[in-house]
Structure 1
Amino acid sequence: MSETTAETTELTSQYSAQVTGDLERNLKEQERLSGEIEALQAQLTALQHDHTVLVNLQQALGIPAPAAAPAAESAASVPAARKKPPEAAKQPAAARKRTGKKAAKAPAASSASPTLVDLVREHLAGQSEPRTAAEITSALGQAHPERTLKTTVVRTTLEGLVAKSQAQRTKQGTSVFYTAPDATQPVPAAPTGSQSEPANA
């Protein structure tokens, strides 16, 4: 009986460790997906805002615009943008949603409202010292009160920039700091034509 009990205890221990590991991975994946969903929601909100502004401008200019026409055109443009239209019908809903994400990003880049990636990149470029994701979120929130920004979304965006070598990440203790790729380089000197040093402002 004692051997059976020992084996049962060992199996229970192994399963417990496996379940704990699976739970940790599950939570991390949930957090990652939540961040992506929030980022996409922010982009969608910006696009909806731009759409409202454009519709108001259109009405102010007196341009006739049937309500059904834009919807029909946008629906027709999605398959046209794909290289292999016949495969779209075979794709599961999740894959078609991913395609929709790519289509939604294109208008955001061409609209007057900059994307979150652009805002984060520009903010980092203007900083002389490393900043945490929370500090960057706070600064962007003050500079763009019309946007609803969350630290998890900004952190996901920062990690994306780091992966593309468009930002640098450093760790000090438990805190993670982000800088622009050239933040460590010295400030460019005055033009070679001027021999005197500029006065401190």
Structure 2
Amino acid sequence: MSGTTTPTSELTSQYSTQVAGDLARNVKEQERLTGEVEALQAQLTALRNDHTVLVKIEQALGTPSTSAPPVKPRTATPTRRKRTTKEPSKPRQTMAKKSAAKKSSARASASPSASPTLVSLVRTHLARQSAPRSAAEIATALGTQHPERTIKTTVVRTTLEGLVAKAHAQRTKQGSSVFYTAPDTTRPKAHNEDPPS
């Protein structure tokens, strides 16, 4: 009888050692994953707080809402799914184009009481000036007149160049500086003038 108990106790000892090692690895893995989950939860909480702040800023600026609602937490842990076929990329592009079209049409169909475009603000500002102004001066003046808007000098400069291209503004250089004025309405446009004889 003692011969059969020895192999059984050795086998039990081996299993006990293996199970103890497996349990230790399991506990370490649980601790590692718990740490990762807590870190991800902290990141998610920070992102949700940022989202709330950004939505409030967007509302304060009075701009049309472009934000998506915050993602609600999932109650069940999702399982990984394997893709059996590759999804075509065209439907995603089409969805993005449709989304962009909806946003632009929403802006275009905004009520007349909505804030004026930057182009109209710049044109109006130039028409009121008696002296040439730089893009930085115009951006500063418009920023002061419209504190609810974020007006950047680079965007104003691009807008001014667009107006110059359409002959709705004039550009002059003084040294290395560029200045803009409203178009000179006293002189007829070049394409209306007769060629010299």
Q: Answer yes or no: same fold by TM over 0.5.
A: no
Larger Rg: 2
TM-score by length of 1: 0.43
TM-score by length of 2: 0.44
